[in-house]
Structure 1
Amino acid sequence: MDLSSLGAPLGPMRRVHGGYANRLFRLDTDHGSFAVKELNVLDRRHAYHVEDVFRFERAAFAAGIPMPEPVAAGHDTLVHRWVEGDKVPEEPVEPAYAYEVGKILAQLHTLDVAWPHDAAEEGTPRGWAELAERATETGQEWAGELSAQAGTFAAIADFVDTCERPGPVVLTHKDIQPWNLLARKGRPVVLDWELSGLLDLSGELGSTALSIAKGPGFDDIRPAVFHAVLDGYVAGGGELPPPGASWFVYMIGGWLGHVRWNISRCLAGVEAGSGPELALSQEVARGGVRGLPELWRRLPDLVALTRRG
């Protein structure tokens, strides 16, 4: 993408490390500061709908959703105004912050934006025993754990394929996690919209509420924070879907696919030209091999969170 319209650079673009899927740079010019995201279009699990996401972002920004201003979009590049704020650590947020996130979701789900794509989901990853064999052959440090849990991963895949989604389907962000949020004056700012699309409402609420109500694992889940998201959603005019396991199937299925993708990058054993570095893929693979079975074990307790009163 030609970035000359952003102004005269005050220095070279600077890499901002830590992205789990793409690569981010900061560009400072005489017109201001910009976040320039280089999208990984080489080995993504599914294609980005860049133009449609950009249109959705523009509508959300115009409606007052707290987010970086979308500036430009190209085939493999997204540009936003740089926003200063505090990073949100992977730990339970304050209930007031969670309440605001719920209100943002309610507002977002009211936007009248045409979306020319179905809510079709990618195929659920299978063949975990064979994947464990390849991990053993290539000497991956987590190969033994993956071998021991291959049956659990197969059961998780079955759940993702068979769990009923009650609807409604909404056009939404789909990836509100601590690493896609900032805190500015104690209030949320929503980043990283490139995964936006149609999603069953229960999956969006469950993924969002759980992600900001817990720490890195599942030993510190704050029900008050989880429910604050739902309270904010209702206060913003939203209607909650029926309780049940569907609230977590999107989160589980997304994590399953993300882990499988990073495992494949680890098995290749080379640095790819885009996307996360190999060391980060190793971290994601290791965390998923250990974390997904634990999430699966905790599912009944999580479902209980959706039954209020």
Structure 2
Amino acid sequence: MMEEPDVPLTGGGRTAVARRGGVVHRETGPWAPSVHALLRHLEASGFEAAPRVVGTGFDADGREMLTYIEGEIVNPAPWTDAAITAVGRMIRRLHDATATFVPPDGATWRPWFGRDIGDGRRIVGHCDAAPWNIVARNGHPVALIDWEVAGPVDPLTELAQVAWNNAHLYDDDVAAMNGLPDAPVRITQVRLLADGYGLPAPDRQKLTARIIDVAALSAANEVIEQQITPDTEHAPRVWGIAWQARSVAWMIRHRALIERALA
């Protein structure tokens, strides 16, 4: 019996991803065993919004093997208010489940710019729960995919990253380019996300500043990863730097509105 062929998948970021039947095969790195331990813990905890590890977790070529999750990616379109509230609930369920996760001895995690942001307790989070990594069905979020940067994170930092990207706190012309609603609507979705998460009042007061911190450091990290210097003639992902830097400026201009929405 012939094996099913690999079907390349988009959205893999820095690594090649392919689907073979109901299994996703992905090039990975030394962090994979730690991520697989996390995913197995989530499965045992009853958290359903994540792929499952298949077999040993690796194919004959050393690629990781995770279950394929059926659905669609809503991005770049906006979430409905009900959907973004559900995103908040999903992240809360994730954090509740990972609170009891004990990483394996010698756990290795992929480097990520947000590891040291915040001074709160650390859990192991997804660390890239942007709308392009959330599978939806009929516009409702059902699962998180692309777990390669999972690792230790301050929960408020993860929620800030989720808010930034899922409420689309981007400059107005960038938002218009993607058919997103006006600023007040997007800012209201930050509150809905926090409501879904069940964020307490003291942390709501910190969230706006944390979102700005995450966006600024993400833009700086993009510059570092692309090794941009005064001699750089072309940056392959220069738009990634541009929209993130402009997003920071937009949030600073709208900071009072965001803080009022969360009050």
TM-score by length of 2: 0.75
Q: 1:118 to 1:226 in 2, by over 3 A?
A: farther
Q: CA RMSD in A?
A: 3.4
Q: 1:118, 1:198 within 8 Å by CA — same for their partners in 2?
A: no
2:14 partner amino acid: A
What is the alpha-carbon distance in structure 2 between the residues aligned to residue 16 and residue 209 of structure 1?
Answer: 26
Q: Which residue of 1 aligns with 2:57?
A: 73
Task: Please state how far the C-alpha of 1:165 moved relative to its aligned partner.
Answer: 2.1
What is the alpha-carbon distance in structure 1 between the residues aligned to residue 77 and residue 68 of structure 2?
Answer: 24
> 1:98-130: CA deviations, max 9, x gaps?
111111111111221013579999697xxxxxx
1:197 partner amino acid: G
Q: 1:268 to 1:37 in 2, by over 3 A?
A: farther
1:61 partner amino acid: E
Q: Figure out how many residues of one structure are paired with residues of the other and give that number.
A: 236
Pick one of 243, 248, 252 that aligns with 1:300: 252
Secondary structure, aligned partner of 1:114: coil
**Structure of higher CA gyration radius:** 1
Task: Please state how far the C-alpha of 1:18 moved relative to its aligned partner.
Answer: 3.6
Task: Please state how far the C-alpha of 1:182 moved relative to its aligned partner.
Answer: 1.3
Task: Please state how far the C-alpha of 1:177 moved relative to its aligned partner.
Answer: 0.8
Task: Please state how far the C-alpha of 1:60 moved relative to its aligned partner.
Answer: 1.8
What is the alpha-carbon distance in structure 1 between the residues aligned to residue 23 and residue 43 of structure 2?
Answer: 16
Q: How does 1:191-270 map to 2 (within 5 A)?
A: 191-214=145-168, 217-219=170-172, 220=175, 221=183, 222-234=186-198, 239=200, 241=203, 242-243=205-206, 244-263=208-227
Q: Which residue of 2 aligns with 1:91?
A: 77
Q: 1:294 to 1:36 in 2, by over 3 A?
A: same
Residue 37 (structure 1) aligned with residue 26 (structure 2): yes
Q: 1:258 to 1:117 in 2, by over 3 A?
A: farther
Secondary structure, aligned partner of 1:87: coil
Q: 1:119, 1:199 within 8 Å by CA — same for their partners in 2?
A: no
Q: 2:112, 2:149 within 8 Å by CA — same for their partners in 1?
A: no
Identity of aligned residues (%): 20
Task: Please state how far the C-alpha of 1:211 moved relative to its aligned partner.
Answer: 0.6
What is the alpha-carbon distance in structure 2 between the residues aligned to residue 64 and residue 248 of structure 1?
Answer: 30
Q: 1:297 to 1:118 in 2, by over 3 A?
A: farther
> 1:256-283: CA deviations, max 9, x gaps?
323432356xx999xxxxxxxx9xx72x
Structure number with higher relative contact order (C-alpha < 8 Å, ≥ 6 residues apart): 1
Task: Please state how far the C-alpha of 1:35 moved relative to its aligned partner.
Answer: 0.8
Q: Which residue of 2 aligns with 1:49?
A: 31
1:14 partner amino acid: V
Task: Please state how far the C-alpha of 1:187 moved relative to its aligned partner.
Answer: 2.4
